[in-house]
Structure 1
Amino acid sequence: MTHLVEHLAMGTLPRLHHEHNAQVDLELTQFTATGRPDQIVAYLDRVCRALADLPVDRADRESGVLAAEDGCAAHPTTGALLSHRYGVQGLGLAPWNGPGPDRIPLDAVRDCAARFFHAGNAVLTLTGPPPPGLRLPLPDGERPDRGSAQPVRVAGSSWQEDAVPGPGLGLHCDLADQGVQLAMAVLQERLRTVARHQRGLSYDVSCDRALSGPGRGDRVIHLDARDGEERQVAELLWQQAVLLAAEGPSAQEVAEEVEAARELFLDPRAVEVELEFAANAELLGWTYRNVADRLDLLDKVTPEQVREAFAGAMDSALLAVPAGTRPAVRRADGTELPEGGCAGNTELPRDGRTFRAPLRDRLTGAAARRARLVLTEEGLWARMPSGVVHHIPFADVVGVEMHTPGRVVFGRDNCVIPVMPELFAGIGPALRAVDEAVPAELRYPASAFTSAD
């Protein structure tokens, strides 16, 4: 929805011959431009006027552009880890497509613009003096309250398969903790050395972070993996993290990462990044520290402090691995890291109405013979052909995608149950039960831009 607001505003601009862009991530929408002072004045004026009077008549066209862009607010592995941590709400919505840009009600788009795109919720950064004639014609408004943290649904450590391009590790922590920050930098360098340079298993090792409330959030590290080596890379990621938590970094590793931070912060080209840090702090309610203060804090962190901070964060470690990957991973005490999600569910309730796969499928495939859909007064259960059992109470439904015929039901804890005739026969009663139990505002027609697959 926010991405559509951004596109509607940018779509009002004429052809410009200077650099300009806009982007949406999990926390901010940014409109940026580089050019002469008069060009910047004109650009900001046009963008602000468009946000103040959003041209929703262009929504059909811009939704098609969004579908073609197929963008996302976070890296797929980061999004999956956030969804495991928080459920399908808030930050946990990051990896989910939702209804698609063509199914967003215009009233919702207008409401989004009114709530967030106003002068009370905006920060302007400039790399030069304010140009003559600068105006930001945004409507007035109250800054949203960001004083509370998003509830965590999974606090402990586990691993889980997901539709991710490579393995990733997520930690819930104090984002301002210099020890955890340095530990992630050390872990990133160790993985780059071992997975890429020594074993040739991976190309990219990247770090992300996401803010869930004042000072709190998640730090994520993720890798790609050569085809067929996903399990080995996942095990390597986990083993290196456990080793770092147990033994800590060397003094040389800490000194190396502090020096890398110094080079980054003091680079004259970093001024735009520094301005963005300050703007983020202003908008999102965290404390901005200037470069000198940040470097002073880093200089005081000892290897033992890094180990202690990282060991504490590892209590919340979530490991995401590509589908079909089953890593052998153990905690520092030797116990197996449990598989999260619905992996432990194997039993279906006996008091519900059961639907089986169509007869022709049961006759030709053992997987179809295992599949069951069970309807109870409380919600839906499904044993998928893989044997995994999913459960969604009607009270935890966050969305129902309407197909003709059929429904796809999404639960708050990442379960998805397809109530579709090609999977289960005679599902009319189940469809009626879903439509009666789930509020109308949570039901939406499937996007015209995506297939039933």
Structure 2
Amino acid sequence: MSRVLRIDGVEVHHLDADGPVTAVLAFGVGVADEQVSTLGISHVIEQLALDGAEGLESDVAGETRMSYTSMSVQGTPERVVSRLAAICERIADISAGGVHAGELRRTCRILQTEGGTAMGDSAHLAEHLNVRLGAQGWGLGAVTAQFLAKVTPQEVAEWAADRFTADNAVLALHGPMPEGLRLPLPRGPRCTPAGLDFLAQTYPAEYLSGGEEPSLSFVIEAPDATSIAAVVLLSSALRARAYRILRQEWGVVYGLEVEVVEAGGVAVLAVIVRCAEKEAADSMKGVL
């Protein structure tokens, strides 16, 4: 049985089931909401929130992506209640200015050592978004957090107070409902997700990629849920058709991927072709 309720202002989606409890606390804030000067600040808060809860083990994890930041806990109901309360209390403390400069510098060094981007393995899609949008919003997925060391404790506190709030969070629970669950987050308005604000450019266009694999991207209007579902079906059909033509009929590629991102009623679909350099032109023609 599933149900939706509110606990301490947080929207909670609970699916009752046997076994351990899995809880995912997600906030509607990610890299696409940030600026170049503070890029990585949501990841910093995620790390501080998890490090600040004492006794954390492998049953707790977090991730910061383009459109959300999440923290997950798994275990017995009692353990999940304890962990979630500690994480929320730490976020409230961060919002109130409870992070000192030394702690912030240490956390930033850890994240810079980790490297990586919020787009994960979707480097080609991130690059296309950066070319289409510039170093803003969803275009930040291809940008490194080079100014992270300059982020101040005050900026961290203000970002947490504005974005990591009960009203901007959703908790998903799977398993028996834990008794005594508390989510003592600061209150604040739900934030509007970042859209896809394209630069004024003339299309079709081309650019020299930093990689060896040619790729194409297309912009598709997707104003509602039905349109989004259609884009997903289109991407699947495009991949199957292009792979059949380029691989099975022409024999010019050894791999092909299609990646999609949707935001604000618009989708960007990227096709990545893995082929020898001499076959790049024919591969692109085959996709088109």
Aligned with 1:161: secondary structure? coil
Distance 2:212 2:178 in 1: 45
CA distance in 2, matches of 1:136, 1:219: 38
Alignment of 1:54-453 (within 5 A): 54=94, 55-57=98-100, 58-74=103-119, 75-146=122-193, 149-153=195-199, 154=201, 156-164=203-211, 166-175=213-222, 176=225, 177=227, 178-193=229-244, 199=251, 201-203=253-255, 205-211=257-263, 213=264, 215-223=265-273, 225=274, 229-230=276-277, 232-233=279-280, 235-236=282-283, 238-242=284-288
2:63 aligned residue: 23
- Give the alignment's TM-score, normalised by structure 1: 0.47
Are residues 172 and 120 of structure 1, via their aligned partners in 2, closer, same or farther at CA, if it must alter by over 3 Å? same
Whether the aligned pair in 2 keeps the contact of 1:44 and 1:136 (CA below 8 Å) is: yes
Partner Cα distance (1:4, 1:137) in 2 = 20
Aligned to 2:87: 47
Q: Is the 8 A contact 1:20 1:32 kept in 2?
A: yes
Flag the 1:160–1:14 CA change in 2: closer, same or farther, 3 A: same
Which TM-score applies when normalising by structure 2? 0.72
Mapped to 2, the partners of 1:79 and 1:20 lie a distance apart of 28
Residue matched to 2:3: none
In terms of Rg, which structure is larger? 1
Report % sequence identity. Answer: 26
Question: Quick one: distance in 1 between partners of 2:48 and 2:76?
Answer: 25
Query: How far off is 1:49 after superposition?
Result: 1.1
Label 1:191 to 1:136 Cα distance change in 2 as closer, same or farther (>3 A).
same
Counterpart Cα distance in 1 of 2:133 and 2:278: 25
Contact 1:24/1:73, CA 8 A, preserved across alignment: yes
Contact 1:191–1:205 at 8 Å: present in 2 too?
no
Contact 2:49 2:91 in 1 (8 A): yes
Q: Pick closer, same or farther for the CA change 1:173–1:132 going to 2, 3 Å.
A: same
Q: Secondary structure at the match of 1:158?
A: coil
- Please name the residue that 2:54 is paired with: 14
**What RMSD in Å do the two structures reach over aligned CA positions?**
2.6
AA at the equivalent of 2:172: T
- Shift, 1:2, TM fit: 1.0
Aligned residues: 235
Secondary structure of the corresponding residue to residue 207 of structure 2? strand
User: Quick one: structure 1 residues 230 and 36, their matched pair in 2 at CA, closer, same or farther if it must change by over 3 Å?
Assistant: farther
Q: Deviations over 1:71-130 (max 9, x none)?
A: 201122111111111122111122112433212233222221111100010011111243
Q: Report which stretch shifted further, 106-115 or 9-18.
A: 9-18
Give 1:44 shift. Answer: 1.1
